Amino acid sequence: MLGTAGPRMVKQIVHPIVIPSLEVPSGARMSVVRVYVASAEAVHLGTPLLDIRVDLTGIAAQDCAPIFHLRLIVGEPATVDRLDVAKGQVVRSNDVIGAARAANHGAGERPLLTSVIEVPFDPLFDE
């Protein structure tokens, strides 16, 4: 039939999963609080990968500890091949923490698209 195309093959390549470059002061301690996905799990835009606790108490002594929480979320459909982090593990900006298969849209070699958002944290329910 004219005007119809067959199934389009989209090349899937392995992209590293990277902690984005976060502008936290030198000496801040970043550790994984929760991991949301497992190996071989399909993820879509907006799926949370993990939560990170950023603790600034070592560099900014205050009455109330300067601690905040970030969530790393997926920015494109993919299948997680592996996620090499666990609860309590210390991480840094630009650490490679796993790999995922996603469509290569002509961008060449690049990390999996992700975003970071700040999330509220309640120690009574979240730890």
pLDDT in tens, 73-106: 999 999 999 999 999 999 999 999 999 998 766 6
5 pLDDT band, cuts 50/70/90, is very low
Q: What is the pTM of this model?
A: 0.82
What is each CA distance from 11 to 5, 25, 38, 104, in whole angstroms?
A: 17, 39, 23, 6
Q: Would residue 88 be called left, alpha or beta, if left means φ above 0 and alpha means ψ between -120 and 50 degrees?
A: left
Structure tokens at 113: 């698209």
Per this entry, what is the length of the chain? 127
In angstroms, rounded to a whole number, what is the distance separating the alpha carbons of residues 109 and 27?
A: 31
Residue 42 identity: A
pLDDT in tens, 54-70: 998 878 666 666 888 99
- Domains belonging to the chain, first-starting first, are 12-126 (2.40.50.100)
| DSSP SS3 for 64 | coil
